[in-house]
Structure 1
Amino acid sequence: MIIRNARPWGADAADVVIEGARIAAIRPHDSAAAPGPQDVAGRGRLLLPSFSDVHVHLDSSRIGLPFRPHTGAPGVWGMMLNDRRNWRNTDVPHAAIVAGTLERMIARGTTRVRTYAQVDVDCRLEKFDSVLAAKERFRDHADVQIMTFPQAGILREAGTVEYLEESLRQGADVIGGIDPCQLDRDPVRHLDIVFGLAERYQVEVDIHLHEPGELGVFSTELILERTRALGMQGKVTLSHAYGLGSVSEAVSRRLIDEFAELDIAMATVAPSTTGHLSLVDLVEAGVRVGLGEDGQRDYWSPYGNCDMLDRTWQLAFVNGFRRDDLIELALAVGTMGGASIMRGSSPRVAGVGDRPGVAPGDRADLVLVDGETPTSAVMDRGADRTVIHDGRVVADGLELAA
């Protein structure tokens, strides 16, 4: 297959040769060459790596359902209880909502997904089963990792650990944790359980960290300690962690250096906060940083529309980026940044000016999108998109391919 007349990362028009699941060659566009039956018309569009949403809650989505007023109380526990009260109250089966949300994400250019599946004594494995079914249904359209996630904490309700362990036996890819100090109020036991399960089932760890300031730093130091002691370098991600940059410049620098040393990744949802660690400093230090949409118009928040190009705009906006190279950095984080979290062999974003993912030898997970430049694509977020996964067109015009 040849993608004809496309502009990789906004460069000159080229013909991109795909062999199997890889980019084999990139050569100047030949307008006189006759297209083959499997070729894709680039039509001068931008060619970018496909998007990677590495922090999404498919299990709590309301995409496709009528809009409803927000009823959640403040705080993680209050929001969780709101979800627990309402998620079953729909005429559409839960599995259908989850599958529809994933389909919409793929159609808009996301072919790498790390999704949470809440596991607790209320939903047990119901949400996990729905996410697992969606992963199987779209296995040829996207790479999906499932994180078994104790949204209600691990220690507050007896029986949670057993459900977490059963989900790992059934194929969860990642074990999650959440606010070890604030939610469970026993950070040592909480993290010992998380890392113990990760070691037993040989899966990665992803910790939700909403804790502010010095409390968040304390929990982070416990995570660093366990990562080092268990030799889990490259297998731990911190999600949110938007208070780690609020203590002092010295603490921020130390944490960034330790993340780089232990290859601890970070997943951001581009929050409207000012206390997060500098995105530029993180990537320049070699830390893998990915982007996610978090909820999808769910019982926690009305935000989220399955479009990672929208969330890339938000990442650039909340970081105050105006220069093209910085906005393109946000785009690199939203595409290959997450890919490097999900698959260690994927090229990581090496810093401002690095544009990985569209070169000979790279995996053919790509998206064509209209735009004059990558920056204009982020600003305008056009709908003329063609999505390629493993060298095969899986969506076009915001609809899945037949």
Structure 2
Amino acid sequence: MLISNARPWGGAPSDILIEGAKITSIAAHDPQRIPEPTDVDGRGRILIPSFSDVHVHLDSTRIGLPFREHTGRPGVWGMMSNDRENWRDAEIPLPERVAGTLERMIARGTTRVRSFAQVDVDSKLEKYEAVVAAKEKFSNEAEVQIIIFPQAGILREPCTEKYLEDALKAGADAMGGIDPCALDRDPVRHLDTVFGLAEKYQVDIDVHLHEPGALAVFSTELIAERTRALGMQGRVNLSHAYELGSINEATSRRLIETFAELDISLTSVAPSTSSHLPLVDLVAAGVRFGLGEDGQRDYWSPYGNCDLLDRTWQLAFVNGFRKDELIEHALAVATMGGASIMDREVPRLASVADRPGLAAGDRAELVLVDGETISSTVMDRGTDRTVIHDGRVVADGLKVLSVETAY
């Protein structure tokens, strides 16, 4: 397949040859070339790597359903309880909601997905199985990894650990954790369980960290200690962690150095806070960093629309990025930054000027999108998109080609 007249990372018009699932060559656009039936007309659009949503909760979605009054209560336990009280009463069954949300994400250019699936004494494996079903339905359109997630903690309710292990036996890709100090109030037991199950089933770890300042730093240090002791470098991710930059510059620098040494990655949903570790400093140190949308118009929040280009704008905005290079970097984070977390063989971003993913030999995970420049694409969030997964067009015009439904 040839993508004709496209502009890789907003550069010069080019013709991009794809063989199998790989980009094999990129050459200056030849306007005299007679197109083949399998060619894709880039029409001068910008070509970028496809999006990698590496922090999404597909299992709690209300995408495609009417807006409802927000009834959540403050705090993780209050919000989680609100979800428990309502998720079974939605207008359509959970498997349809999850599949519809994943479909909408693919249609907008996301072909790499790392989704949490809540496992606890309330939902048992029901939410996990709904995410598995969606993953299987769209196995030809996207790569999906599933993290089992003890949203209600591990220690507060009997039998939680049993259900978590059942999900790992069923094939979950990663083990989740949450606020070891603030929620379970026993960080040693909580993290011993998380790391113990991950080691037993040889899966990665992803810990939600909403804890404030010094408490978040303490939990992070315990996580780093276990990562080093168990030889799990490159297999641990911290989600949110938006208070780690709130102590002082020396603590921030020490944490960033630790993350780089142990290849502990970070994922963000671009929250409205100034207490997070500086994104520019993280990439300069070689820390993997990815972006996600978190919930999708669910019982936690009305935000989220399945479009990671929207969230890229938000990442640039909350970081105060105005220079073109930094706005482009936000897009690199949303595409190849997340890809390097899902597959540690993918190189981490080398600098804020690094624009990977579109060279000969790279995997053909691509999106064509309208725009004058990368910055204008992020600002305008155009909708003229063509999505390519493993060298095949899987979506066009905000519609996944394998299904009739368009959102």
TM-score tier (shorter):
over 0.9
CA contact (8 A) 2:367 2:386 kept: yes
Deviations 1:68-101 (A, max 9, x none): 0110001000000000000001231100000000
Equivalent residue runs for 1:248-397 within 5 Å: 248-397=248-397
**Partner in structure 1 of residue 165 of structure 2:** 165
Paired AA for residue 363 in structure 1: R
Match of 1:101 in 2: 101
Distance 1:201 1:135 in 2: 20
Percent sequence identity is: 73
Q: SS at 2:88's partner residue?
A: coil
The within-5 A match list for 1:4-153 is: 4-153=4-153
Following the alignment from structure 1 to structure 2, what is the Cα–Cα distance between the partners of residues 176 and 252? 24
1:240 counterpart residue number: 240
**Contact 1:47 1:366 (C-alpha < 8 Å) held by counterparts:** yes
Show CA shifts across 1:245-284 (max 9, x none).
0000000000000000000000000000010000000011
Task: State the shift of 1:346 in Å.
Answer: 1.7
TM-score w.r.t. length of structure 1: 1.00
Task: Spell out, residue by residue over 1:367-397, the C-alpha distance to the aligned partner (whole angstroms, 9 max, x if none).
Answer: 0000001110000000000000000000000
The amino acid of 1:53's aligned partner reads D
Q: Shift of residue 188 of structure 1? A: 0.3
For the 8 Å contact 1:348–1:356, the answer to whether it is kept is no
Does the Cα contact within 8 Å between 1:14 and 1:26 map onto a contact in 2?
yes
SS in 2 for 1:346: coil
Q: Distance in 1 between matches of 2:64 and 2:12?
A: 39
Q: How many residues align?
A: 402
CA distance in 1 between counterparts of 2:75 and 2:351 reads 34
Once the 2 structures are TM-superposed, how far is the Cα of residue 351 of structure 1 from its aligned partner? 1.2
Q: Post-superposition shift, 1:347?
A: 2.8
Q: Residues 178-217 of structure 1: matches in 2 within 5 Å?
A: 178-217=178-217
CA distance in 2, matches of 1:42, 1:118: 40
| CA deviation after TM superposition for structure 1 residue 344, in Å | 1.3
Aligned residue type for 1:288: R
SS across alignment from 1:238: strand
- In the alignment, which residue of structure 1 is the partner of 2:405? none
Separation in 2, partners of 1:273, 1:82: 24
Report if aligned partners of 2:269, 2:294 keep a CA contact under 8 Å in 1.
Answer: yes
String of CA shifts for 1:81-132, please: whole Å, max 9, x gaps. Answer: 0000000012311000000000000000000000000000000000001000
Paired amino acid for 2:311: R
CA distance in 1, matches of 2:227, 2:2: 44
CA displacement at 1:38 relative to structure 2: 0.8
Q: Deviation above 3 Å: which 4+ runs of structure 1?
A: none
Partner of 1:176: 176
Distance in 2, matches of 1:349 and 1:225, equals: 25
Cα distance in structure 1, aligned partners of 2:221 and 2:346: 27
Partner of 1:311, secondary structure, is: helix
Following superposition, the deviation at residue 315 of structure 1 comes to 0.0
Secondary structure in 2 matching 1:87? helix
Residue type matched to 2:131 in 1?
A: V
Report deviation, 1:37.
Answer: 1.1
Q: Distance in 1 between matches of 2:375 and 2:87?
A: 38
- The DSSP-based 3-state class of the residue aligned with 1:27 is strand
TM-score in terms of structure 2 length:
0.98
Contact 2:65 2:91 survives alignment (8 Å): no
| Alpha-carbon distance between aligned partners in 2 of 1:131 and 1:253, rounded to the nearest angstrom | 37
- Asked if the contact 1:386–1:397 (Cα under 8 Å) also holds between the matched residues in 2, the reply is yes
- Structure 1 unaligned residues grouped into runs of 5+: none
CA distance in 2, matches of 1:265, 1:39: 37
CA distance in 1, matches of 2:346, 2:110: 16
Alpha-carbon distance between aligned partners in 2 of 1:178 and 1:78, rounded to the nearest angstrom: 15
Aligned to 1:88, the other structure's residue is in SS state helix
Structure 1 residues 121-130 or 346-355, which shifts more? 346-355
CA–CA separation in structure 2 for the residues paired with 1:33 and 1:273? 51
* Letter of the structure 2 residue corresponding to residue 333 of structure 1: V
Alpha-carbon distance between aligned partners in 2 of 1:44 and 1:199, rounded to the nearest angstrom: 48
On the 8 A contact 1:313/1:378 being kept in 2, the answer is yes
Measured in 2, the distance between the counterparts of 1:34 and 1:344 equals: 40
How far apart in 2 are the matches of 1:323 and 1:332? 14
